[in-house]
Structure formats: C-alpha cells, structure tokens
Amino acid sequence: MIMKYKAVIGLEMHCELKSDSKVFSRSRNGYSKLANSNVCPFDLGFPGAMPSLNKRSVKEAVMMSMVLNCKLPEYMLFDRKHYFYPDLPSGIQLTQNTLPVGVDGAIEIECEGKRKTVYIHDIHLEDDAAAMDHFEDTSVIDFNRSAAPLLELVTQPCLYSAEEAVAFLEHMRSAYKYCGTSEADTAKGQIRCDVNVSIMDEDATEFGTRVEIKNVNSFSNVYDAIKYEVRRQSELKAAGRYDEVVQETRRYDEVSGTTQRMRSKEDAVDYKYFPEPNIPRYRLTPEWVESIRREIPRLALERKDMYTGTYGLSDYDASILVREKEISDYFEKCINLGVDPKEACNWITVNIIAYMNKNELTIDEIFLRPEHLAFITENVKKGTISSKQAKDVFFKVLEEKKEPSAFINKENAQISDAGELEGIIDGILAANPGEVEKYRAGKDKLFEFFVGQVMRQTRGKANPVVTKDLLHKKLDQ
C-alpha cells in the first residue's frame, strides 16, 4: 500500500431537509410509495408555474449555517442554474451561487479520538431533482422529489483521510438529526455526497489534480471510494504516470469497488448562473436570526464532553448516550431529577437500549419515563427496595405499563429497619451457636452462611447492606 503521498479530500454533502411542503412549491415534501403523488405544476416545469419560497426551509438553512459557524448574508438570494436533463423538467435548478446562506465556517469534530477543525467553504439551500427508475429499455420519472429542499455544504479541501471524511459526515448527520432539520437517513437516500480527491507530496505546497466522485450514497461507500481513488492516483504517480490523473468526474461503482470515469472537464456544463428574478430578496432580520440561534440544541460532541468530563463517564458509554438526541435528553432529564449520572448511564446503556432494540421502540415510546427511573433509584437509595428488586420493578413498569409505585409496597418492600433485622439476626445466631463459634475461631467463610440464613428467613427482603453491617457488629465482638 503506497502511503508516501498526502491525500487531500473535500466533501460536498447534500442533505434532504424535513418539512411539510417543498422549498419552492407547496406540494407535500416527503416519501411516498405512489409515484407522482406529491406534485404540483412547478415541480414539473409547467409553463407559467412560479417559485414560492418556504419559510421553514429558510429557517432550517439559517440554523445549519449557524451550527457550522458560517457568516450569514444580509438577505436570502437565489440563483438559476441551467442544464438539460430529464430529471430537471424546467431545465433550471434553484440554488445559491452568488450569496449562500453560509460562508467561511468551521466546525470541530472528533476523529479516532482526536479533535480536528473542518473548514466550510459554504452551505447553500437549493432544490432537488426528480427520481428516475431504469428498466431494460426504458426509464420512468417520478417527480415526488422534484423541488424538495436540499442543503448542500461544501468543505474546504482540509480532510486528509477516508477516516476523517467519514467522521465529518457522521458528525454532520448527528447535527442534522439533533437540530431536527433533516432525518439524515442514508438508507432513505436523504444524504448524497460528492467527494473530491487529490494527492500531493508531503512537502509540496500546491494541490495535485483533483478528481470528483459524484453521487456517493452511503458513508461506507464514501470510505471505500476515497481509499480506492487515493490508491489509484498514488499508483499512477509512483509509476511516473501522474499525467494520467486528469481533472474529471467519476462515479463509484459499488459492485467492483472502483471509480469509473463519467465525464471530463471538457464536457463541463456552462450553468449560466444568474439571480432568480421571481424571488425578491428576503431580509434575514437580526431578531429572527437570534430566535433561530436560541433553538439550536447542544450537539452531540458538546454533550459527550460534558458526560466524560463532569460526570466521569467512559468515552464508550458517553458515545452511546449521545448517539441520539432523544436518548441524551432522556439521560439529562434523569440527572435533573436527581439520578446519579453513572447509575442513569448504566440503566440506559445496559437495560433500556436493549429493551428498545428488542421491541423496536424509540426511547420516547417506551412506557418508562425519566420520572419513573428517578422514583426507582430514589427508593433504592432510601432502602425501600434492594437493587435486585429495583430491576424487577423496572421491567414490570416496562412490560405492564404501570407506575413503579404499583410494584413497591409493604408486601415486597425491602426490610431496612435495623431494629427488625436485629431481632431476626439474634434469632439466627441463637439457633446456630456452633457456627458462631467456628466463625469467631477464624472460619470467615461462614459469614456468608449467616447472611444466607437472614435472606432465607426474610425471603430475600432483608437489606443486604444493613444486614451485613449488623452481622459484623454482632459477630465480631
């Protein structure tokens, strides 16, 4: 494996935004099995149809721009981008070339345990093309996706490995989901990436020839495509054939695990960008921008740092907790209700997530709420129930969907009262004088025998801590 060159990667990440209607038309935005069931004249480029900008899409774009610490423009301005293709019926894609909703941003990510700043060239709001299906001799076009909102972010060429590229994509996916601006589900095709790859000598100052790999639709494909392309370019360069690496557009072929040429620079399309006259400028008032900023939740990395730092959780556990905002919110709610962070972490990562997975429920769908968990752990602390009993109650609450207080009562309450336990202990010691003598003579293992006896007599309800305490007091005189 040739590793003597530095790989330089830039990413263009397209993410479908969540909203009820599309960005430039009022038809429904969302998946439908039925082709052409979420459409209106604008989506199909019918003559006379005009764009109508969706406030929510603008809000989501502004929010993500701020998440990336970009500079916001004074107003929203859209450009026409022209090209002929069957999936673009009007021949015009509306995008932001002149004045993107965010420029010159930077965001800190974590890659293989290390922190790295990724620089953002720009982020802009645009609309999506239709979807085509291909058969043996024909293709068909479904316009449900046509004019749906897309946010495209373009990084600077500041990623230096496939690992960094994927780490960045994971980070952004999490950010989109935390902000609620996109479902960001690659399986649903909601994220598409174009990957720009070049290589250069370690000590070189100029970038090498850049190759674009278009439309990579999963993070693992991004990883594989980068690995392959870097190797392809490196092998050619090492063999003195670097001139065979040309500036071109390629596509990643999943089947062969290789990249294949699509078109060269000479076939480059002239997009004729110019501002869309039918969408007047929309001023982004400081008040609105501020209100959007206040809605930005704390994101995964920031929360993880707090969990490992302030709460002392392991990186591994913290990562699990922040994987989804709902889980993280649940965890934080427990803390706010007084649950010990390590305990809450344990309950969630060991028991709750397993239960969720088994029953295919989200954390917001399970019956057990943070309040219930707090109630249970509070009772363990008070000594009303043992930790073993707590686990029983926990599962009963989940399964039977009843409040935990239904399962914590005098009947099965733990016996923590010292007076009561003392009486029981006195009785057991009196009934087993031989064992008492043997223990006092040095047979320490017999301690467990006495504990066992107490448990048997109380049918497991004796508080083990108090029991052991009292036993030691009485036996170790």
Partner 1 sequence: MSNLTKETVELFAKEQMFEMTEEEKQTALKDLEAMELHIEKINRIPGVTTATVMTHCLDNFILELREDEPVESTPIEDLLANADEVFDREIELPKVVNG
Partner 2 sequence: MTYMTRSVEELHELLVKGEVSPKELLDEALQKSHEVQEKYNAFVTVVDGAEPGEAGEHVLSAIPYGAEDVYSTKGVLTTGGSKALYDYVPFFNAAAIDRLAEAGAVLAGKTTMDEFGVGDTGTTGHNGKVRNPWDPERMCGGSSAGSACAVTAGVYPFALGTDTGDSVRKPAAYCGIVGYKPTYGMISRNGVFAGVSSMDHCGVLARSVADAAIVADTMKGPDIDDMTTWDTADIHLRDALDGDLAGKKLCYVKELADPEYYPAADETLKAHLANFMEKVEMLRAKGIRVDEVSVDKALLEAVPSVYAVIGCAEATSNLMAITGLIFGPRGEGRNWVEQFKDHRTKGLGSLVKRKIIAGSYVLKDENQERYFRSAQRGRRMIVDAWKELFKAYDAVLQPAGTGPAKLLSNTEETPGTEMLEHAGLIADFGGFPSITIPDGFVEGLPVGMTITGNIYDDETLLNIAYGIEGMMDYKGQIAGEGK
Nearer to partner 2, 262 or 418 (CB): 262
The one among 75, 207, 273, 367 contacting partner 2 by CB under 8 A = 273
434, interface contact from partner 2, partner 1, none, CB < 5-8 Å by kind:
none
**454, 463 contact by CB (below 8 A):** no
β-pairing verdict for 75-76 and 282-283: antiparallel
The HSE-up count of residue 208 (CA atoms within 13 Å, CB side) is 26
DSSP, res 297: P
- Indicate the residue type of 429: L
Cα–Cα distance measured from residue 155 to residue 142, given in angstroms and rounded to the nearest whole number: 31
Q: Give yes or no for residue 22 binding partner 2 (CB under 8 A).
A: no
Neighbours of 411 (CB within 10 A): 7
Max alpha carbon distance in the chain (Å)? 102
In DSSP terms, which residues pair with 264 in a beta bridge?
248
| Interface positions, 241-300, toward partner 1 (CB under 8 A) | 251, 262-263, 270, 274-275, 277, 280-283
Shortest Cβ distance from residue 200 to partner 1 (Å)? 30
Work out whether 138 is an interface residue with partner 2 (CB under 8 A): no
Please choose which of partner 1, partner 2, none residue 316 contacts, taking the beta carbon within 5 to 8 angstroms, the exact cut-off set by kind.
none
The encoded tokens of residue 415 equal 């016996």
Is residue 207 a contact point for partner 1 (CB under 8 A)?
no
According to CB under 8 A, which one of 112, 137, 287, 360 is a site residue for partner 1?
Answer: 137
Number of residues lying near partner 1 (CB under 8 A): 49
Answer for the pair 23, 149: CB distance below 8 angstroms, yes or no.
yes
- Dist. CA 189–CA 15, nearest whole Å: 9
145 binds partner 2 (CB under 8 A): no
Determine if 286 is a binding residue for partner 2 (CB under 8 A): no
C-alpha 385/C-alpha 202 separation (Å) is: 64
- Would you say 247 or 387 has its CB closer to partner 2? 247
| Site membership for partner 2, residue 49 (CB under 8 A) | yes
Q: What distance in Å separates the CA atoms of residue 306 and residue 312, rounded to the nearest whole number?
A: 8
**Min separation Cβ 195 and partner 1, Å:** 17
Shortest Å distance, C-beta 396 to partner 1: 42
Does 98 interact with partner 2 (rule: CB under 8 A)? no
φ/ψ of residue 239, rounded to 5: -85, 10
- If one asks whether residue 92 binds partner 2 (CB under 8 A), the answer comes out as yes
Note whether 356 binds partner 1 by CB under 8 A: no
C-alpha separations of 227 from 7, 148, 208, 240, 427 in Å? 10, 32, 16, 20, 74
Does 19 bind partner 1 (CB under 8 A)? Our answer is yes
Structure tokens at 306: 């707090």
CB of 291: closest distance to partner 1 in angstroms? 14
**With binding defined as CB under 8 A, does residue 124 bind partner 2?**
no
Number of residues in the chain: 477
**Residue number, 139 or 362, with CB nearest to partner 1:** 139
142 sits near partner 1 (criterion: CB under 8 A): yes
Contact call for residue 267 and partner 2 (CB under 8 A): no
Residues 9/160, Cβ–Cβ less than 8 Å: yes
Which positions lie near partner 1, rule CB under 8 A?
Answer: 19-21, 26-29, 34-41, 44, 52-58, 75, 77, 84, 86, 132-142, 251, 262-263, 270, 274-275, 277, 280-283
Which positions lie near partner 2, rule CB under 8 A?
Answer: 26, 41-42, 44-53, 80, 82, 84-86, 89-92, 270-274, 277-280
